[in-house]
Amino acid sequence: MRQPQKTQDEMADLQERLRDSNVNEHSFLATDYLNHFNEILMLIEMLPEMPEMAEELFEWQPKSYEQHFLDSGLPEAGLAIEAYSHCLPDHRETFDLLVSILDESILQLMGRIKAIAGADAESAYKRLIPDAVAEMHETLNQINAVINARGNGLDQDHIDQLIDSDF
């Protein structure tokens, strides 16, 4: 739920508190959220060489920005959640769209991985995973750009391609 808009003085105070934190003072977002995706992508990338890791992979679930920080135990979790609620609407919409695209891409790939069984699993993983993970890393890079306030991170051609793709 979005909090009421802060006054200019309150926003200046929030930005000042962000300067000494891991939350970007311009985007009001934290790169710590990317750890949620980095961990699953690392597991997926290991799968062709370690197919026994598949069960661990299937434990992953999408997690909202707020939930990630609530679960994180990080000392600045409350500040990250507070700042997120004040992210500029167009910036936050871009961020949320990219996150939902990445969540869906991961879930679709996990479905395809789950459907692969038998002695040829390792070979099938080697054919399936590299291209899919490369696309996911591109989306992750765009999310990182949004977090670090380098433009809005949105490359419409890439977004359209991700939406239309069938992992």
Q: Model confidence over 2-14: pLDDT tens digits?
A: 555 667 888 888 8
Domain boundaries, the chain: 8-164
- Across the chain, how many H-helices and E-strands are there? 8, 0
8-43 burial, b if ≥16 CB within 10 A, otherwise e?
A: eeeeeebbeebeeeebbeebbbbebbbebbeebbeb
Place of tokens 């699953």: 40
Question: Is this structure's pTM higher than 0.85?
Answer: no
> pLDDT by residue (tens digit) across 49-66?
998 888 899 999 999 999
How far, CA to CA in Å, does 138 sit from each of 65, 115, 167? 19, 25, 14
